[in-house]
Structure 1
Amino acid sequence: MNRTIIFILSFFIAQAAISQVAGSAPDSSNYRIVIAKIVNGDTIITATLPEYAVNAKLPRKLRAAAQRNAKLVYNVKKVYPYAKLAGIKLKEYEEILKNASSDAERKRLMKQAEDELRAEFEDDLKKLTFKQGIILIKLVDRETGDSSYVLVQELRGKFVAFFWQTFARLFGYNLKTEYDPEGEDKDIEEIVVLIENGQI
Structure 2
Amino acid sequence: MLYNWRMGKITSVKPCAKSDRLNIFVDGEFSFAVSYEVAFKCGIRENVVVSDEDIAVIKDEDECKRAFEAGINYAVKKTITKKQLFDYLIRKGFESTAAEKAVKKAAEYGYADDKKYAFAFVATYGEQRGKRRLENELKAAGVSDDIIAEALQTANESALKNAADKYLRTHAKIDKNKFYNYLLYRGFDYDEIKNVVGAMTDED
- TM-score, structure 2 normalization: 0.23
The structure where strand makes up a greater share of residues is 2
Which one scores higher on RCO, CA 8 angstroms, separation ≥ 6?
Answer: 1
The structure where helix makes up a greater share of residues is 1
Which entry has the higher C-alpha Rg, 1 or 2?
1
- TM-score, structure 1 normalization: 0.23
